[in-house]
Structure 1
Amino acid sequence: MRVSLLQIDVDPAESVASRRDRVAELVRAQSASDLVVLPELWTVGAFASDLFAAEAEAASVDAGPTAALMSAAAADAGVWLHAGSIPERTADGSLYNTSLLFSPDGRLHRTYRKIHRFGFDRGEAVLMSAGEEIVTAQVSDTAVLGLATCYDLRFPELFRLLVDAGAGIFVIPAGWPERRREHWTLLAKARAIESQAYVLAVGTAGTHAGVELAGHTIAVDPWGAVLAEAGSGEEVLTLDLDPALVAKTRADFPVLRDRLLGLPAPDRG
């Protein structure tokens, strides 16, 4: 399974409309891949909370400009596209940090509303509503994605629930700050090791709303080995995964069956 991770530079001098068009072309260029992943809130910037309401849109191909462009790009490239997340406005006026997953025919296959909102009573934490659903998506016979976003990475219980729902590849778009970059890489490895799953953690680059972003998109295998890591600027990482390695790792080193706390451990037969 070939994946392309697109670390996007969110430059405040570039308009949202221009960035949408530019990123759509970047997606189309990844036609040799099976799965393409974009970062969190790349249209506006994860810390540009003053733009959330102004740039909020529907999570719908018919009504949302980002969804429409990403749908077309996914279909043109013939790829599964995790189009990162957008500030979504629902019919009742609520805002969510919502991820969009498109199938290779351009259909909006899944959405995930970020459960853990960052900000400690500021920014996203007060402007956005919290999602409530655990979301997975089967993208091949052996590959099940588990969807999470940025700050979710700090909450291992979410990833346990994703494992129990069948996920073996965690896709985590983010807008993580440079000042906590060490946490980013450490937590990505931890989630991979404890869940015996691939982690595809895709960050943004640049500085916006006065916050320098970490970049350093990272791919980690089920043993915790780093398969690829980007630098601090805009970059595309392309690599091959073996989804069967998830089941093999869990069979060769069956730690998940020994769970005693929380949800019941899998049946040992």
Structure 2
Amino acid sequence: MRASLIQIAVDADESVESRRRRAAALVRAQRDAELVILPELWPVGAFAYQQFAEEAEEPGGPTYEAMAKAASDAAVWLHAGSIVERAPDGTLYNTALVISPTGEPAGTYRKIHRFGFDKGEAVMMGAGEELVTVQVPGLTLGLATCYDLRFPELFRGLVGAGATAFVVPAGWPARRREHWTLLARARAVENQAYVLACGTAGTHAGVEQAGHSVVVDPWGEILAEAGPDEEVLTVDLDVSRPATARRLFPALEDRRLGLPAPDILR
């Protein structure tokens, strides 16, 4: 499977609608890929808290419409990053959207672990409660978003649900870039799964972004890594590799805390 991670730059001088059009064009340009991934909250910026309420939309709103058309035009599976979702009761969520090659909704994931401690996302947004996987040809994608990367129990739960690859869109700050790469490799090694971690470039409300999107294989090897600027990172994935790693080094079978073994081991 060929995957393309679009490390789009967020610039406060560019309107949300302009960035939607630009992101759609970048998605359409990935016709040679099968899976395309965008970062977290790229329409508004992960740290642009003051714009969250203004730019909130339904999962089927303008970002979904633009990305569904682009996915259909390119005939790709698209993880469209995440949006600020406004639920019917008014609650805001950081919600990831996955779209099929025909432009149909394939999955949504509300971010479980909200960043900010006592401010920002942590107090402005509701927390998701459900683990979400999406089946694509050859892989089962486990969905996580940014700060989720620091919580290994989430990824263990996704492995139990059958995940063989994790997609992690993010708006990760440059000042903690080393954590980003370290945690992506750790989640890959401990779960024997691919990690496709797609960050943003540019600056979100004064917070410099790390960039450095990365693809890690189930043995922890970095297959490809972007730089700090806007970039499309493309890599070919051997979809049999997670099963091979789990067969040759069956560490997941030795868990003793009552968590179920993943389906791939049964």
- Give the TM-score category using the shorter length: over 0.9
After TM superposition, list the pairs within 5 Å mapping 1:74-85 onto structure 2: 74-85=71-82
Distance of 2:71 and 2:262 partners within structure 1? 36
Partner in structure 2 of residue 108 of structure 1 = 105
Provide Cα deviations, 1:21-53, integer angstroms capped at 9, x if missing partner.
Answer: 010000000011000000000001000111110
Matched, 1:34 2:31: no
Q: Aligned match of 1:162 in 158, 163, 171?
A: 158
Q: Any unmatched runs of 5+ in structure 2?
A: none
Contact preservation (8 Å) 2:160, 2:260: no
Distance of 2:169 and 2:145 partners within structure 1? 5
The Cα of 1:262 is off from its aligned counterpart by: 4.2
Distance of 2:219 and 2:31 partners within structure 1? 29
Provide Cα deviations, 1:170-224, integer angstroms capped at 9, x if missing partner.
Answer: 0000000000000000000000000000000000011121111100000000000
Matched, 1:93 2:107: no
Matched, 1:241 2:237: yes
The Cα of 1:265 is off from its aligned counterpart by: 4.2
Distance of 2:213 and 2:262 partners within structure 1? 32
DSSP-derived class of the 1:206 partner: strand
Distance of 1:2 and 1:264 partners within structure 2? 30
- CA separation of 1:265/1:89 partners in 2, compared to 1, >3 Å: closer, same or farther? same
Q: Any unmatched runs of 5+ in structure 1?
A: none
- CA separation of 1:111/1:264 partners in 2, compared to 1, >3 Å: closer, same or farther? closer
Distance of 2:221 and 2:240 partners within structure 1? 16
Partner in structure 2 of residue 202 of structure 1 = 198
The Cα of 1:243 is off from its aligned counterpart by: 1.2
Partner in structure 2 of residue 6 of structure 1 = 6
Distance of 2:226 and 2:258 partners within structure 1? 35
Contact preservation (8 Å) 2:132, 2:158: yes
DSSP-derived class of the 2:171 partner: coil
Q: Aligned match of 1:185 in 181, 187, 208?
A: 181
Contact preservation (8 Å) 1:258, 1:265: no
Matched, 1:57 2:57: yes
Contact preservation (8 Å) 2:39, 2:82: yes
Distance of 2:40 and 2:46 partners within structure 1? 7
DSSP-derived class of the 2:244 partner: helix
Give, as a single letter, the amino acid of the residue that structure 2 aligns with 1:51: Q
Distance of 1:6 and 1:147 partners within structure 2? 17
Partner in structure 2 of residue 23 of structure 1 = 23
Distance of 1:252 and 1:263 partners within structure 2? 21
DSSP-derived class of the 2:179 partner: helix
Give, as a single letter, the amino acid of the residue that structure 2 aligns with 1:31: R
Distance of 1:109 and 1:249 partners within structure 2? 28
Partner in structure 2 of residue 222 of structure 1 = 218
Partner in structure 2 of residue 130 of structure 1 = 127
- CA separation of 1:33/1:263 partners in 2, compared to 1, >3 Å: closer, same or farther? same
TM-score of the two chains, using structure 1 as the length reference: 0.97
The Cα of 1:264 is off from its aligned counterpart by: 3.8
Q: Aligned match of 1:255 in 242, 251, 263?
A: 251
TM-score of the two chains, using structure 2 as the length reference: 0.98
DSSP-derived class of the 2:71 partner: helix
Distance of 1:68 and 1:254 partners within structure 2? 43
Distance of 1:239 and 1:185 partners within structure 2? 17
Distance of 1:266 and 1:177 partners within structure 2? 33
